[in-house]
Amino acid sequence: MGGPTGDRMIRVDMTNQTASIEPYPEDWKLLGGRSLSARILLSECDPTCEPLGPDHILVIAPGLLAGTSAPTSGRISVGGKSPLTGGIKEANAGGDPGQDLMKLGYRCIVVKGQPADTNKRYALDITADGVNVISADEHKGKWNYKLIEDLTKTYSPKASFISIGPAGEMKLSGASVACTDSDQDRRPARHAGRGGLGAVMGSKCIKYMSIDAGKRPARKAEKSKEFSAMSKKYTKEYQEGPAQEPFPKWGTSALVTEANNIYTVPYKNRVEGRSPDVDTLDGMRIVESFEERGGGMHNCMTGCIVKCSNIVNDKDGNYKTSALEFETLTLLGSNCGIASWDDVADLDRLCDDIGLDTIETGAAVAIYMDSGEMDFGNAEGAKNLLREIAEGTDLGKAIGNGAVATGRRQKHKRVGTVKGQALPAWDPRPLKAAGVTYCTSAMGADHTTGLVVDPGQSIDDIAQASQEAQILNTAIDSSGFCQFLMPNIEEIAEFYSHVFGEQVTREQIADIAWQCMQEEWEFNRRAGFGPKDDEMPDTMKEDGIGPEKTVWDIPQEIVNKAYERFDPREELFTQKPS
């Protein structure tokens, strides 16, 4: 690999529907995924631009190790200015597109401009021979599963796809970007969900991207023997260790009961932190269904050793959805008073098909229910609400635009968001350090930017714990590794050293992550963000949960400490993500 020699980047101008290929800059050789997306957006995108306008930039950036033989390393970042928050956003997904782009030597795709006729639909075809923008009008309005089913009939069996559903085409702020997984059926089940970046892709009038790496082999490291040896050693240790545990062996759905025990399973629009329906929502019920219905655990991308993604079938043994995750079971399940994992599986399939973030959508549906318009627990009503999103009704658009839009429509005050983005299931009231992350991350309320699951943590430690988790997660999102592989910064540095044939220190990896965070904060500052945007919503300060009626009560001066870099502790380099 030897650094960026021979690596390239794709630039697309949708104003005139052209694509070009450029050499990848030497200065960016240690950047990938989230850190590369942040660098491009701060360098090339006006932070004050309209998120859905022609001046905005969409970035697709695989992690640095994607396409190599490193285990579970092919994740991809989608970046842009969020139509949901108005700030910078990176959303991360699995599937094979990241692997395939890097096998072709494409480190990123940068899309700018907008067609004069926004009723048109286009696609981006990417192969070893080049990149072309083609018409995709015949696929306009298709749901993701139908779209991919049709595309697989005409494209190579080796091709992977990035797509949007109707929500993205309608430019709704809760819209996700779908990536196809590693199954031979190439299902559009891996979503860069948070922040509404599907709407950004829709604003460019791009319905899908196809990536065909053909028979291209895995990318080679400069020190290939050392890289291979480390990959094998890491795989062996992981499979003999963490892979034996309930999580990640059974995926995030297995966390429902544990999270319920620490009051971080939101119930009925977060008025409680525990659900009485935990037994029927717990992911182990899904595992038990495998024997009767079929399905099982699988790898979402080629080269994944975690295999934490569940394939959920219906009662007749037919495929329904993949993967039914903890956040979906809680936000679309318990948060809406819905008791059955089977119903949540239907809602998850609808979200993936329409192209919606399950967290934002679950929060919006719960707000609608809490406002008195629909009873909590009405699973069929919730499914109909999601169908209304695809139909483009006024109510559907409000739900599809997320929690804040739904609260505004319903004139309802209990709206749990930070920087306009709905809180995930991991509740900031018992998990104070996670709350600091939600307040200080440029992304807003996003647990993937730095989750700390420690309900007993001292107030003196929470800012540093949040900062270190944010640095670690930024490094992982830049590497292409999956967080569930549980790499630490020291291990990432060793992989990078073998890739480039030169020493990359753990301090360098941490510095790159910190620089990425600073660039994201600077983007938001230029976009108009200020101290008021770092505050937890009133509902978290007023609605107590658990026997002690715990609320968010952390002084802002404690929160603000996360912006000033602490002297790194040894744990920063060796800790695993929560």
| C-alpha to C-alpha distance for 16 and 7, rounded to whole angstroms | 25
Class of the CATH domain delimited by 8-221? alpha beta
Structural domain boundaries in the chain: 8-221, 243-425, 437-477+483-574
Output the pTM of the full model: 0.97
Q: Can you count the helices (H) and strands (E) in the chain?
A: 23, 17
The residue ranges of the chain whose pLDDT is under 70 are 1-5
What is the pLDDT, as a whole number, of residue 433? Answer: 98
Q: Write the burial class of residue 304 (CB in 10 Å: 0-12 exposed, 13-18 middle, 19+ buried).
A: buried
What is the pLDDT, as a whole number, of residue 1? Answer: 43
| C-alpha to C-alpha distance for 412 and 414, rounded to whole angstroms | 6
Q: Write the burial class of residue 318 (CB in 10 Å: 0-12 exposed, 13-18 middle, 19+ buried).
A: exposed
Please name the fold of domain 243-425. 1.10.569
Token code pair at residue 212: 């065909």
Task: Judge whether 264 and 275 are in contact, CB under 8 Å.
Answer: no
Q: Count how many residues are written for the chain.
A: 578
pLDDT digits (tens, 9 = 90+) for 382-394: 999 999 999 999 9
Task: Judge whether 425 and 330 are in contact, CB under 8 Å.
Answer: yes
What is the pLDDT, as a whole number, of residue 6? Answer: 80
What is the pLDDT, as a whole number, of residue 5? Answer: 56
Helices (H), 23-175: 33-44, 97-103, 144-151, 166-169
Cβ-Cβ contacts under 8 Å for 129 (sequence gap 6 or more): none
What is the pLDDT, as a whole number, of residue 494? Answer: 98
Please name the fold of domain 437-477+483-574. 1.10.599
In this structure, what DSSP letter does residue 244 have? G
- Alpha carbon dihedral 274, 276, 282, 284, in 10-degree steps, equals 130
